[in-house]
Amino acid sequence: MADNKSYMKSLKAYEKIRDMILIGSKLPGSRLVLSELEEELGIGRGPIREALMRLDRSGLVKNIPYKGAVVEKPPTQKEVLHIYDLRVNIEVKLAVEAMGNLTDADILKLEKLHAIMMEFPKDHYNFDRQFHYLICEASNLPHLCNIAQALLLPVESMLNIYRREEEHCIKFNTEHRAIIDALKSQNSAKVKKTLEVNIKSGLEIIKETYNKMLRIPFE
């Protein structure tokens, strides 16, 4: 029972620190000091240490000897391009596997997430992540699903550092609608196409915002 409580505290700390990084309140290069996190989160140092180790494995945090945990820098241009190639390859496969497993309740969850995103919430990225995770999870291929999630985190932190404009949200929402319709139609070709388009839209947003904010061509 005690072990379960400790695990839940560690998971809570992991999720809270992860979200701090993803929304940009903890910027790349900043130190994650145990005493400060303990005060911010209201969670003990033991679970926070475990959470930081898990974040290190996810690529969002780097534990440096004698310095402690530091928020990792976003991926390089070359890494982003490779990550998106891998994401398309893996997530499309997972979506096709999920197509036959999604229940009416799952489709309803996707519809509800889409409805929330249509309201343009400030944490649009969070519901976007849940949308993709629900589809991946339905594949019943948990190891590949974990790989897909690991690929998503560093890219997602980059998207949220540069912020998502309303026009981008509109585009994502339209694409998510098409994904839901494709899944409901049980048409694997449409599922592949709509998901690939949606994933690559994220890459285009990164390119646009990178060029605009850093004034360096994303090639």
Q: Which contacts (CB < 8 Å, 24+ apart) does range 211-215 have? A: 213/162
- What is the rounded average pLDDT of the residues 21-26? 78
- Rounded CA-CA distance 126/144 in Å is 21
Residue 209, pLDDT > 60, answer: yes
pLDDT of 70-100, one tens digit each? 998 877 888 889 999 999 999 999 999 999 9
Q: Residue 175 contacts by C-beta under 8 Å, 6 or more apart in sequence? A: 194, 197, 198, 201
77-214 classified as CATH 1.20.120.530: yes
pLDDT of residue 170: 94
Give the separation between CA 6 and CA 44, rounded to whole angstroms. 10
Domain residue spans of the chain: 2-71, 77-214
Q: How far apart are CA 93 and CA 96, in angstroms?
A: 5
- Does the structural domain 2-71 have CATH classification 3.40.47.10? no
CB 17 within 8 A of CB 36: no
Which of 86, 94, 172 lies closest to 129 in space, CA to CA?
Answer: 172
Interval 134-144: pLDDT, tens: 999 999 999 99
DSSP state for residue 74 in the 8-state scheme: P
Does pTM top 0.85 for this prediction?
A: no
Mean per-residue pLDDT, 16-34: 85
- Give the tens place of pLDDT for each residue, 156-202: 666 655 556 788 899 999 999 999 999 999 999 999 999 999 999 98
Q: How far is residue 94's CA from residue 96's CA, in Å, rounded to a whole number?
A: 6
